[in-house]
Amino acid sequence: MLKVLIAYFTRSGNTERVVKKIHESVGGDVELLNESVDRKGIIGWLKTGSSNSKREVGQIGETQYDPLDYDFVILASPIWAGTMSSPMRGYITKNREKLSRTAVFLSNDSGGVENAFVEIRELLVNPPLVEGSLQRSKIKSEFESTVNTFIGDISNL
């Protein structure tokens, strides 16, 4: 059985909901990425858009788990301003050499999914083995099927 780590960042809770569903099925350890920037409310939303449009690398706090200790790492992030969140960018940048086998799940309010996947593929040493995404407007109608497909693809590795 694979030793799995799920590393994620969430601002509004949508990505966390996906992570909980994935964790129920694949198990493993869960790492919530923390940062010092307050992204709540309209001011936080504006900071988020500004930092991400510049593709800033987020400064994340200390992490509990070392990705090198795992066979497989699932990365989950919202999309901000057409790309992955700056905290996830910070995590990947910090750990890129330790992330040899990954899957990536992105949640988003609008477009930018392919741009975010392109950026993630460029940052990682090896491209993700599984990729999935879910638009916020489709959470009610497509949550179960989309996340279950992602989980199934991981299980088939």
Question: How confident is the model over 81-137, as pLDDT tens digits?
Answer: 788 888 999 999 999 999 999 999 999 877 789 999 999 999 999 999 999 999 877
Band of pLDDT at residue 55, cut at 50, 70 and 90: low
How far apart are alpha carbons 115 and 94 in whole angstroms?
21
> Bigger pLDDT: 20 or 61?
20
How far apart are alpha carbons 96 and 78 in whole angstroms?
19
pLDDT of residue 86: 87
pLDDT(77) > 90 = yes
**Structure confidence by residue, pLDDT tens digits, 7-38:** 999 988 889 999 999 999 999 999 999 876 66
pLDDT of residue 83: 84
pTM recorded for the entire structure: 0.88
Long-range contacts of 111-120 (CB under 8 A, 24+ apart): 111/82, 112/79, 112/81, 112/82, 112/83, 113/79, 115/82, 115/83, 116/77, 116/79, 116/82, 116/83, 116/84, 119/55, 119/83, 119/84, 119/89, 120/75, 120/84, 120/92
Number of domains in the chain: 1
Per the CB < 8 A criterion, the answer to whether 116 and 106 are in contact is yes
Q: What is the domain range of residue 39?
A: 4-155
pLDDT of residue 71: 97
State the CATH number of the domain containing residue 78.
3.40.50.360
pLDDT(57) > 60 = no
